[in-house]
Chain A
């Protein structure tokens, strides 16, 4: 992390424009499918998407619902009336020569998002969130004298969220983006995949000189950022660059920069010659949007648990460490899966009072975040599509805690469960991995080992700790690797100390 962040002299002023492609079945204004994964160009198009003469838009109700949900989750004001406007400009990827957007009556306005920055709550204002249609993509094949246009993305529902310039560092920006992405994901409004482009973030960065108040008289927009990591890096880079210019007594140029991820720096992009006049006017083909109190009440009732609430609950109820909570929160489906496992564990704990519920929950969190996450990531699988059911997952945790299988055996069992599903007890049987915890059997094996390895026993008594490990190993061998190491340890300790005393 760069040193200037702790500087009290210069104060970075950062706001965001964030575009989120909503996960609707069809496009914003036509019934053509919305599918960001479609690779064949110009497949998801129809007469409306391609702007054929005579076509009219029909607003997608689901997109409006999702936008309002996001607005409510961001504590926004949703006015009774909202409307669409036309924003005019020529570009080949814009089929109608205008984009249907929202100008002065966005669906949501004046909200905020609270984020946790180094243990403190910081409130970041949300200026507005409005709905619009996406453009297509221009493709410039190498070495060819023409360009191609793919309209698959054209007309997809796009939610543009604009924040207040309340962010002061790259780290704050990253946390803000993460929290926002989580909220949108929790609402099921979008997968917010930066690489796929279903979430696009553009920070506006400027720096306030020491003693200055109000907004600086310039701002630098950075585009071409395709991960939160790059957003953080680009912001930090810009802050440093701008401070240097300011220190030299100059004012940075108001430009659009692009993030060059190879060279870790921002590069000035060709700026458009003049300010565009988009000639906004109300879209005459669409009626005004009306949000009744009843409708908004219904949306509030449908509001799922949001990341902040889940975070608080996981910390409270499960007493999990902060890092674990954060990692679970950041993967909604995994967090939900984990909760299903927890409720299974509760049932177990209810039946078998001897079980330590809190320990089991912690164990489950570890397994979710380690072996399970790793396996899911490897197969690009969603937790909810996994073969292993929460019930079986919970049972595996119980088997581990009861000492019926060893840690390494559990890993083998889990591997099988992940691939084929099934009950862990059966899998343990099938693989012959049942751990021997029976004190009688272990004691018998230890006696054999002790009498067969007198040298090691006397070495241990003489203070050689190494010999203890050797004896454990021998006992494990005797038990064909299925002995419960904890029980072996305890019993061996007992036996040897008895011998010492004897």
Chain B
């Protein structure tokens, strides 16, 4: 009844008092319970959600305008610290961790009286792109439960795609919003680095982490962006620029807009179905009056390599604090301090975290730092400059969000490099801190020979904009969703 309704629709129902926040909250909590097999949530905060919904209703029933998110339930990736609520990062090392404070984004949603339903599953510490590195088991794809939903924001993607929450917070380091949004058939927004405060979101790689959201439409995402964006005194890397009223300025008129088609993003090994759907979507933009321009981004091929050095370096550093001393998991059979560290970390971290700690520690070691880390930073600069050059020629870039539709569960575990390969269309943009969207653009059959339970699996169109160019990205996505209805296709689960 309420599942798959866009936020703008829910807002109207609430404002017109056709439904209460409590009814909505109960409805979604029931759906979460009903679809536990998706394993989309690590923690469901039922009691708090009901109390918050009642408070939101009181506010709605009092005179005056309601903030956009007021009374609307949502889910938060379990990487967002939420005061008094268990926050695990999907790792055993934080299994018992109750966050003592709210992330800035959570506080902003709270201030609007948004209702938190629970904390969603993810790849452990966001390390992965399938959801399978979670210490709490993999999340399932709502279109085919034998497949993965994409990651690391796996739980948020499945929760929204499955209608368990009308929207969810998510994070990206190298594709963790765009890829699962694409594979799960929903809209996902990865903001410009520094547009949304990282404060209170458990760090993966600090120079790459972006805080965004998943929902059913670009219009909803633009509305959410207005709430969570902006300078935060607690995050020195947030930009000082004012947050535009994205949703009010949304324009479906993209006549004359120059859309760059980067040839490097149509990679070897890409599934034919994916390529066809994305090309069709790009043709649709052309029909709307956009001008297509072929562009080249030759340094794209170095993106994954740079990421493979920068990301683990920062990860290894950011994971130093999980030492069993102040909070989180601590091993008990220890004889001295060194054993507390060794055993707590050995038994607390999953394999992927350990892999990245080892890699990161190695590349930052004396004698290797110049060869790896410093060189990677130089190449990163080249990638940033290359994008800046291309954005002198075109307004936005359009390309696939992923080279494939959702893989079978278990496929990622066979190859530790799986994530890097799947992320290759997302990483260069992440390294450059660019804003991007993934919007549903049709369905395709997978190339893996395994027949999915239905005709096809979702494909996503990726739209990348220049730094701080959220408005252009939203406009293009909005224009596309005005003439197509792929974003309104939902699974029958």
Contacts and interface: CB of A to CB of B under 8 A. Distances in A.
Interface of A: 47, 50-59, 86, 88, 90, 92, 95-98, 149, 277, 279-281, 284-287
B236 A96 contact: no
B326 A281 contact: no
Given A54-B99, A285-B236, A97 B313 contact: no
B143 interface: no
A251 B224 CA distance: 69
Contacts of A279: 317, 361, 364-366, 369
A50 B325 CA distance: 10
A86 B94 CA distance: 23
A53 B101 contact: no
A54 B102 CA distance: 10
Given A285-B237, A287-B237, A52 B366 contact: no
A286 B236 contact: yes
Contacts of B373: 281
A365 B347 CA distance: 69
B192 interface: no
Contacts of B97: 53
Contact of B321 (A53, A57, A59, A285): A53
Given A54-B200, A92-B325, A285 B234 contact: no
Contacts of A287: 236-237
B317 A88 contact: yes
B251 interface: no
A499 B369 CA distance: 100
A53 B317 contact: no
B100 interface: yes
A59 B97 CA distance: 27
A54 B364 contact: no
Closest 3 interchain pairs by CB? A97-B320, A284-B206, A279-B364
A279 B367 CA distance: 10
Contacts of A97: 317, 319-323
Contacts of A284: 205-207, 237, 314
B201 A54 contact: yes
Contacts of B326: 50-51, 95
A149 B199 contact: no
Nearest to A96: B321
A96 B314 CA distance: 13
A95 B324 CA distance: 11
B81 interface: yes
Given A54-B199, A56-B198, A47 B361 contact: no
Interface in B168-197: none
A285 B234 CA distance: 10
Nearest to A278: B366
Interface string B362-378: 00111001000100000
Interface of B: 79-81, 87, 89, 94, 97, 99-101, 103, 198-203, 205-207, 233-237, 313-314, 317, 319-323, 325-327, 337, 341, 361, 364-366, 369, 373
Nearest to A58: B236
A47 B233 CA distance: 15
Contacts of B99: 52-54
Given A279-B364, A285-B236, A52 B325 contact: no
5 contacts: A52-B327, A90-B320, A97-B321, A284-B207, A285-B237
Contact of B206 (A53, A58, A95, A285): A285
A86 B233 CA distance: 21
A279 B100 CA distance: 30
Nearest to A279: B364
A149 B324 CA distance: 13
A474 to B, nearest CB: 80
Contact of B320 (A47, A98, A286): A98
Nearest to B81: A54
A116 to B, nearest CB: 42
B318 to A, nearest CB: 9
A59 B235 CA distance: 10
A52 B323 contact: no
Contacts of B366: 277, 279
Q: Which of B99, B202, B235, B317 gathers the greatest number of chain A CB atoms within 10 Å?
A: B317
Contacts of B101: 47, 52
A51 B321 contact: yes
Contacts of A277: 365-366
Q: Which of A47, A90, A95, A98 gathers the greatest number of chain B CB atoms within 10 Å?
A: A90
Q: Which of A53, A92, A280, A281 gathers the greatest number of chain B CB atoms within 10 Å?
A: A53
Given A92-B323, A279-B366, A287-B237, 4 more contacts: A51-B321, A55-B199, A58-B234, A96-B321
B317 A281 contact: yes
B107 to A, nearest CB: 12
B233 A52 contact: no
A114 to B, nearest CB: 37
Nearest to A277: B366
A277 B316 CA distance: 14
Nearest to B235: A56
Contacts of B236: 56-59, 285-287
Contacts of B203: 53-54
A287 B205 CA distance: 15
Nearest to B342: A90
A47 B202 CA distance: 13
B337 A53 contact: no
B135 to A, nearest CB: 15
Given A52-B100, A54-B203, A285-B236, A90 B81 contact: no
A154 B327 CA distance: 17
Contacts of A96: 320-321
Nearest to A53: B202
Contacts of A149: 325
A286 B81 CA distance: 21
Given A54-B81, A90-B323, A95-B326, A281 B100 contact: no
B81 A53 contact: yes
A86 B341 CA distance: 20
Contacts of B337: 92
Nearest to A97: B320
Contacts of A57: 236
Nearest to B201: A54
Contact of B89 (A51, A53, A56, A59): A53
A318 to B, nearest CB: 49
Contacts of A59: 236
Contact of A56 (B80, B199, B369): B199
Contacts of A53: 81, 87, 89, 94, 97, 99, 202-203, 321-322
A284 B320 CA distance: 15
B233 A58 contact: yes
Nearest to A86: B317
A97 B205 CA distance: 16
A98 B103 CA distance: 22
A138 to B, nearest CB: 10
A186 to B, nearest CB: 31
B2 to A, nearest CB: 31
Contacts of A92: 323, 325, 337
A475 to B, nearest CB: 77
Nearest to B203: A54
A282 B419 CA distance: 26
A90 B89 CA distance: 22
B117 to A, nearest CB: 20
A281 B315 CA distance: 12
Contacts of A286: 236-237
Contacts of A58: 233-236
A355 B313 CA distance: 75
A238 B234 CA distance: 47
Q: Which of A57, A280, A285 gathers the greatest number of chain B CB atoms within 10 Å?
A: A285
Given A90-B323, A92-B337, A279-B361, A52 B313 contact: no
B364 A281 contact: yes
Contacts of B313: 281
B171 to A, nearest CB: 11
A400 B99 CA distance: 69
